[in-house]
Amino acid sequence: MPVSPLADHVIQLAYDPGISPKGGGLPGLAVLKNIVNSINLFGIIAAVGALAVSLAVWAWGHHTGGHQAEATGKKGATVAAGAALGLGAANGAVAFFSALGAQVH
């Protein structure tokens, strides 16, 4: 009995290619990890600098009555803190969603 074109298409969609992440398959993986770690560290250092500058602008604006500088300092401090949170949580977030995605069948 011939299979309908729709059923054949559904069977192709359900095909499991059997691919999963595996370390050591390509040369340069250690170098790539080192580069990404360095970029993450650079970002964290930049966030520390941005936070320090933003807090200084916030304090300067507060003490001089510059409401625009105060608001800009608050905004910069919030963004720098959020960036530090994101950079610090990046590895854990990717690991979490990768494990979550591996559970999909």
Tens of pLDDT along the chain (105 residues)? 556 766 666 666 666 677 777 777 788 888 999 999 999 999 999 999 999 999 999 999 999 999 999 999 999 999 999 999 999 999 999 999 998 988 887
pLDDT at 84: 96
Alpha carbons 72 and 89: distance in angstroms, whole number? 26
pLDDT at 96: 94
* pTM, two decimal places: 0.72
Q: Where are the domains of the chain?
A: 29-102
Measured from the Cβ of residue 75, the count of other Cβ atoms closer than 10 Å reads: 13
pLDDT at 87: 96
pLDDT at 103: 84
Select from 40, 53, 45, 49 the least CA-distant residue to 86.
40
Rg over CA atoms, the chain: 24
Select from 70, 67, 66 the least CA-distant residue to 58.
70
Alpha carbons 47 and 49: distance in angstroms, whole number? 5
